[in-house]
Amino acid sequence: MSVKVNSLTKKYGAQHAVDDVSFEARSGEVLGFLGPNGAGKTTTMKILTCFIPQTEGTATVCGYDTAEEPMKVRERIGYLPEHNPLYKDMYVREYLTFVAGLHKLPNKKNRIADMIEMTGLGREQKKQIGALSKGYRQRVGLAQAMLHDPEVLILDEPTSGLDPNQLVDIRALIKEIGKTKTVIFSTHIMQEVQAICDRVLIINRGKLVANDSIDILRQRASGKTTITVQFLEKIGMAQLRNIPDATHIEALSDNQWKITTTKTHDIRPKIFKFAVENGLTLIEMRQDVQSVEDVFQTLTRRET
Amino acid sequence: MYSIFKKEINLFFSSLIGYIAIGVFLVLTGMVMWVFPQSNVLDYGYATMDGFFRAAPYILMILIPAITMRSFAEERQTGTIELLVTRPLSDLSIIMGKYLACLLLVVIAVLPTLVYYYTIRTLGDPAGNIDAGGVAGSYIGLLLLAGAFVAIGLFASAITQNQIVAFVLAVLLSLTLYEAFGELSKLPIFFAKSDDIVDKIGIGYHYTSISKGKIDSRDVIYFLSIIAAFVAMTKVALGARKW
């Protein structure tokens, strides 16, 4: 396990910013960290990067305890803080050279050239950081985080404020890195989680409310499936009740219906058989996939 | 530590900060030495640099806080401090990197004033009629004084995000330590030799003492303690995020 967090708690006065959170992350895994604002995502990340200490519990990175061996942890972690702080009056190359010096990297020049290539900074590498657009600054932020080839990457909202094209690029980059390293990143954007994460942690009011793969999460949150059907003929509610396992039926128009089931197996074959047996023409049948967005809302609202 | 030191030095000289600091110091001390009617050495008639060494602390008292005010305050304001302290280097090496960079800038500003020494030495009648030992002692005193002011400035910068607050606080602390204790000791409220003790708490007493050309280990230890104390307090301020 490259990251292991065990009943981590951070208190600010009487308030629990992080409350008894435990999770693990393997290398080659992209872990999405989801939660409303102020849920404790950033605090957890700050503890992992040894910026602030926890009140209780333990956190280890690559086997090193963040409280006991912070220097070893820091060598193995790449960090992109929220809002991506940078020295605006430094030049891109100058900044990366500075960071390489802090990590005492051998072969600085090659490594920096590789990073610039990897993050697509080539065209902007001679510019002052303050003169870069937000997307390119984000790339500089990623470049400094990955420069020393860390085993664990912690990215706090790496994609906030980017345009759609930049989003795609950065996501692809994160996914690529995630193949060999451990990536933990936080976001508000659910599609992003669907697009690049292997596993999702949802945190709300400091407590971990979910720690699952996305598919499992969808099922767990709703526990029901909704199917929209449309027949060519007009048909009454009473007749539809004959469909086995349909727990709830709702009319959308006189020939369009919404059928809900709490059963875990697929009831679509049964609906099709029902139509055949009753001589109905089925012209549409669509299973509504619950998005992670709904899951997120259910999980984070339920607690409040 | 070296990376931090190099970054700070680069920043001084890639922006105007470095050149302005050096320029201002040289213009002001040059005025005091050669132009101002109250203090210029030509009218005074004695081959000494006393005027320069009397004025320099007051100039440094303003100049050094201006140099140090951004070092931590700006990093905290922009959030870059978070990236800095999560690197594999200790808080102390961050502080010392910045400390040495600021001190080096002050030294670079002070160095050209050696020309004043050479000038007065040459102008002296007979030539060479200057208390070389006294001047050497005074330069050492000035260096120690600058070291103390830089430490005070860094501390002030580390406890706030606002550069102006850092500046004002550093000036106030420097002035208090340099001047206030000596003045307070003159109040007629002290019995026996307690006024002496109050005087010795201040930087001014020790600076004057070294300036006489007699390098007393007690004065040197005093300055080193002040520097160590403020560096330690800066470390505490930087570590305050962990509270």
Provide DSSP, A24-62.
EE-TTEEEEEE--TTSSHHHHHHHHTTSS--SEEEEEET
Q: Distance between CA B74 and CA A175 in Å, rounded?
A: 34
Residues of B in contact with A144 (CB under 8 A): 83
Predicted confidence band of residue B164 (pLDDT cuts 50, 70, 90): very high
Query: Is the pLDDT at B127 greater than 90, yes or no?
Result: no
Is A50–B86 a contact, with Cβ atoms under 8 angstroms apart? yes
Check CB contact of A138 with chain B, cutoff 8 Å.
no
Report the gap between the CA of A20 and the closest CA in chain B (Å). 19
Check CB contact of A49 with chain B, cutoff 8 Å.
yes
Residues of B in contact with A46 (CB under 8 A): 82
Residue-wise pLDDT for A98-111, tens only, equals 999 999 999 889 99
- How far separated are the first and last CA of chain A, in Å rounded? 33
The number of domains in chain B is 1
Integer-rounded Cα radius of gyration of chain B: 19
Of the partner residues A46, A74, A98, the one whose CB lies closest to the CB of residue B3: A98
Query: Is the pLDDT at A303 greater than 70, yes or no?
Result: no
Give the 3-state secondary structure percentages of chain A, helix then strand then coil, rounded to 5.
35, 30, 35
Query: Is the pLDDT at A27 greater than 50, yes or no?
Result: yes
Check CB contact of B14 with chain A, cutoff 8 Å.
yes
pLDDT at A238: 77
Is A88–B78 a contact, with Cβ atoms under 8 angstroms apart? yes
Residue by residue, DSSP assigns A213-267 as: -HHHHHHHHH--EEEEEEESS---HHHHTTSTT--EEEESSSSEEEEEE--SS--
Query: Is the pLDDT at B210 greater than 50, yes or no?
Result: yes
Check CB contact of B214 with chain A, cutoff 8 Å.
no
Residues pairing with A210 in the sheet: A202
Q: To 10 degrees, the CA torsion angle through B60, B62, B66, B71?
A: 70
- Identify the residue with better confidence: A29 or B154: B154
Closest Cα in chain B to A54: B242
Check CB contact of A137 with chain B, cutoff 8 Å.
no
Residue-wise pLDDT for B78-126, tens only, equals 999 999 999 999 999 999 999 999 999 999 999 999 999 998 888 887 8
Check CB contact of B78 with chain A, cutoff 8 Å.
yes
pLDDT at A304: 47
The Cα diameter of chain B in Å comes to: 64
Predicted confidence band of residue A290 (pLDDT cuts 50, 70, 90): low
- How far separated are the first and last CA of chain B, in Å rounded? 25
Of the partner residues B7, B79, B87, the one whose CB lies closest to the CB of residue A81: B79
Q: Count CA atoms closer than 13 A to B94's CA, side-chain side.
A: 25
The residue assigned the tokens 């304001």 is B77
Average pLDDT over residues A70-94: 92
- Identify the residue with better confidence: B243 or B35: B35
% of chain A residues with pLDDT over 70: 94
Predicted confidence band of residue A221 (pLDDT cuts 50, 70, 90): low
Q: Which of A71, A83, A87 to mutate to test the interface with B (most CBs of B within 10 A)?
A: A87
Is B88–A52 a contact, with Cβ atoms under 8 angstroms apart? no
Residues of B in contact with A95 (CB under 8 A): none
Give the 3-state secondary structure percentages of chain B, helix then strand then coil, rounded to 5.
80, 0, 20
pLDDT at A289: 62
Predicted confidence band of residue B240 (pLDDT cuts 50, 70, 90): confident
Distances (CA, A) of B10 to A96, A116, B132: 14, 22, 35
The closest alpha carbon to A115, from A150, A166, A74, A65, belongs to: A150
Beta-carbon contacts of A55 under 8 Å, excluding residues fewer than 6 positions away, are A9, A10, A11
Here the ipTM equals 0.87
Domain range for B210 is: 2-242
Domains, chain A, in order of start with CATH, read 3-219 (3.40.50.300), 223-294 (3.30.70.1560)
Q: Which of A49, A102, A128, A129 to mutate to test the interface with B (most CBs of B within 10 A)?
A: A102
% of chain B residues with pLDDT over 90: 63
Average pLDDT over residues A10-14: 87
Residue-wise pLDDT for A149-196, tens only, equals 999 999 998 887 788 888 888 888 888 888 888 999 898 777 788 788
pLDDT at A291: 62
Residue B96 has φ and ψ, to the nearest 5°, of: -70, -35
Check CB contact of B243 with chain A, cutoff 8 Å.
no
Check CB contact of B2 with chain A, cutoff 8 Å.
yes
Is B2–A144 a contact, with Cβ atoms under 8 angstroms apart? no
Check CB contact of A109 with chain B, cutoff 8 Å.
no
Distances (CA, A) of B133 to A214, B122, B142: 79, 16, 14
Burial A275-294 (b: 16+ CB within 10 A, else e): beeeebeeeeeeeeebebee
Average pLDDT over residues A126-152: 91
B119 alpha carbon, distance to own chain's centre: 25
Strand A77-80 versus strand A152-156 pairing type: parallel
Predicted confidence band of residue B72 (pLDDT cuts 50, 70, 90): very high
Is A102–B88 a contact, with Cβ atoms under 8 angstroms apart? yes
- Identify the residue with better confidence: B198 or A80: A80
Predicted confidence band of residue A292 (pLDDT cuts 50, 70, 90): low
Report the gap between the CA of B15 and the closest CA in chain A (Å). 9
Predicted confidence band of residue A262 (pLDDT cuts 50, 70, 90): confident
Query: Is the pLDDT at B207 greater than 80, yes or no?
Result: yes
Q: Specify the range with the lowest mean pLDDT, choosing from A258-267, A284-293, B131-140, B197-206.
A: A284-293
Residue-wise pLDDT for B3-32, tens only, equals 999 999 999 998 888 999 999 999 999 998
Q: Distance between CA A104 and CA A148 in Å, rounded?
A: 9
